[in-house]
A and B are shown apart, each in its own frame.
Chain A
Amino acid sequence: MGSDENILEMRGITKVFPGVVANDNVDLDVRYGEVHTLLGENGAGKSTLVKILFGLYKADEGSILLRGQPIAVGSPSEAIASRIGMIHQHFMLVPTLTVAENVALGMTSSRRPFTDLDAVSRRVSEISEEHGLAVDPSVEVRRLAVGERQRVEIIKALYRDAELLVLDEPTAVLTPGEVDDLFVILRRMADAGRGLIFISHKLREVMSLSDRITVLRNGRVVGGTTPAQTSREELAQMMVGRTVRLTPEKPVLDDGPALLSVENLTVHGDRETVAVDDISFDVRSGEIFGIAGVSGNGQRELAEAIAGLRGVEPGSSIRLDGVDATGDDTRARRDRGLGFIPEERMRDGAIAEFTVSENLVLVDYGSDEFTSRGMLAFGAIGQHSRRLVDEFAVKTPGIDTPTSSLSGGNIQKVILARELSASPTVLLACQPTRGVDIGAAEYIHTRLIEQRSIGTATILISEDLDEVLGLADRIAVMYEGEIVAIVPAEEATRDKVGLLMAGVVDPAPQTNS
Chain B
Amino acid sequence: MGDFFTLSVLVATAASAIRLATPYLLASLGETIGQRSGVLNLGVDGVMLLSAFFSYWTVLETGNLWLAVLVGLVTGLAVGVLYGVITVRLSATQGISGIGIFIFGLGLSDLLFRRQVGTPKPVRRLPNVDIPVLSDIPYLGEALFQRNLLTYLAFLLVPATALLLSRTTFGLNIRSVGENPQAADSLGVSVERTRFIAILMGNSMAGLAGAALVLQLGIFQPNLTQGLGFIAVALVYFGAWRPVGVMGGALLYGLVNATVLQWKALGIIPVSGSDLANMAPAVLTILALIVLARRVHAPAALTRPFTRH
Residues on A facing B (Cβ under 8 Å)? 54, 56, 75-80, 86, 88, 90-97, 101-102, 104-109, 112-115, 156
- Complex: how many Å from CA A97 to CA B184? 12
Known contacts: A56-B308, A92-B183, A114-B167. The answer to whether A97 contacts B172 by CB under 8 A is yes
Contact A112 B188 (CB under 8 A): no
Which residues of B from 64 to 91 have beta carbons under 8 Å from A? none
Q: List 7 other contacts, CB 8 Å, given A94-B183, A106-B184, A106-B189.
A: A75-B188, A86-B186, A92-B180, A96-B175, A104-B169, A105-B172, A115-B169
13 A-B pairs, CB-CB below 8 angstroms?
A76-B185, A79-B188, A90-B182, A92-B182, A94-B180, A94-B183, A95-B300, A97-B175, A97-B176, A104-B169, A105-B187, A106-B173, A109-B169
- Complex: how many Å from CA A85 to CA B94? 33
Closest to A55 in B: B188
Checking B167, B168, B170, B175 against A94 with a beta-carbon cut-off of 8 angstroms, the contacting residue is B175
Closest to A106 in B: B187
Tell me which of B167, B172, B184, B189 has the highest count of chain A C-beta atoms within 10 A of its own C-beta.
Answer: B172
- Complex: how many Å from CA A80 to CA B179? 22
CB distance from A48 to the nearest CB of B (A): 11
- Complex: how many Å from CA A1 to CA B179? 45
CB-defined contacts of A156 to chain B, threshold 8 Å: 187
- Complex: how many Å from CA A116 to CA B308? 29
Could you tell me the dominant secondary structure of chain B's interface residues? Answer: helix
CB-defined contacts of A104 to chain B, threshold 8 Å: 169, 172
Cβ-closest 7 pairs across A and B: A77-B188, A106-B187, A92-B183, A92-B186, A94-B176, A94-B180, A106-B189
CB distance from A84 to the nearest CB of B (A): 11
Closest to A78 in B: B188
CB distance from A162 to the nearest CB of B (A): 12
Closest to A96 in B: B179
- Complex: how many Å from CA A86 to CA B308? 16
Contact A113 B169 (CB under 8 A): yes
CB distance from B33 to the nearest CB of A (A): 15
CB-defined contacts of A91 to chain B, threshold 8 Å: 183
- Complex: how many Å from CA A418 to CA B169? 52
Could you tell me the dominant secondary structure of chain A's interface residues? Answer: loop
Contact B167 A105 (CB under 8 A): no
CB-defined contacts of B185 to chain A, threshold 8 Å: 76
Tell me which of A80, A92, A102 has the highest count of chain B C-beta atoms within 10 A of its own C-beta.
Answer: A92
CB-defined contacts of A92 to chain B, threshold 8 Å: 180, 182-183, 186-187
- Complex: how many Å from CA A97 to CA B177? 11
CB-defined contacts of A114 to chain B, threshold 8 Å: 167-169
CB-defined contacts of B184 to chain A, threshold 8 Å: 94, 105-106
CB distance from B295 to the nearest CB of A (A): 14
- Complex: how many Å from CA A321 to CA B154? 69
Known contacts: A76-B185, A156-B187. The answer to whether A108 contacts B169 by CB under 8 A is yes
- Complex: how many Å from CA A91 to CA B186? 10
CB distance from A159 to the nearest CB of B (A): 10
Tell me which of B168, B176, B184, B300 has the highest count of chain A C-beta atoms within 10 A of its own C-beta.
Answer: B176
The 0/1 profile, CB within 8 Å of A marked 1, for residues 176-213 of chain B is: 10011011111111000000000000000000000000
CB-defined contacts of B169 to chain A, threshold 8 Å: 104, 108-109, 112-115
Closest to A81 in B: B188
- Complex: how many Å from CA A121 to CA B188? 20
CB-defined contacts of B175 to chain A, threshold 8 Å: 94, 96-97
Contact B179 A76 (CB under 8 A): no
Known contacts: A105-B173, A106-B184, A156-B187. The answer to whether A97 contacts B179 by CB under 8 A is yes
CB-defined contacts of A113 to chain B, threshold 8 Å: 168-170
CB-defined contacts of B173 to chain A, threshold 8 Å: 105-106
Contact A80 B188 (CB under 8 A): yes
CB-defined contacts of A75 to chain B, threshold 8 Å: 188
CB distance from B173 to the nearest CB of A (A): 7
CB distance from B115 to the nearest CB of A (A): 44
Contact A105 B176 (CB under 8 A): yes
Tell me which of A76, A86, A102 has the highest count of chain B C-beta atoms within 10 A of its own C-beta.
Answer: A76
The 0/1 profile, CB within 8 Å of A marked 1, for residues 135-155 of chain B is: 000000000000000000000
- Complex: how many Å from CA A223 to CA B186? 30
Contact B180 A95 (CB under 8 A): yes
Which residues of B from 81 to 125 have beta carbons under 8 Å from A? none
Contact A105 B189 (CB under 8 A): yes
CB distance from A124 to the nearest CB of B (A): 15
Tell me which of B172, B183, B186, B308 has the highest count of chain A C-beta atoms within 10 A of its own C-beta.
Answer: B186
- Complex: how many Å from CA A36 to CA B105? 58
Closest to A160 in B: B187
Closest to A80 in B: B188
CB-defined contacts of A112 to chain B, threshold 8 Å: 169
- Complex: how many Å from CA A88 to CA B185? 12
Known contacts: A92-B182, A94-B179. The answer to whether A101 contacts B187 by CB under 8 A is no
CB-defined contacts of B180 to chain A, threshold 8 Å: 92-95
CB distance from A74 to the nearest CB of B (A): 11
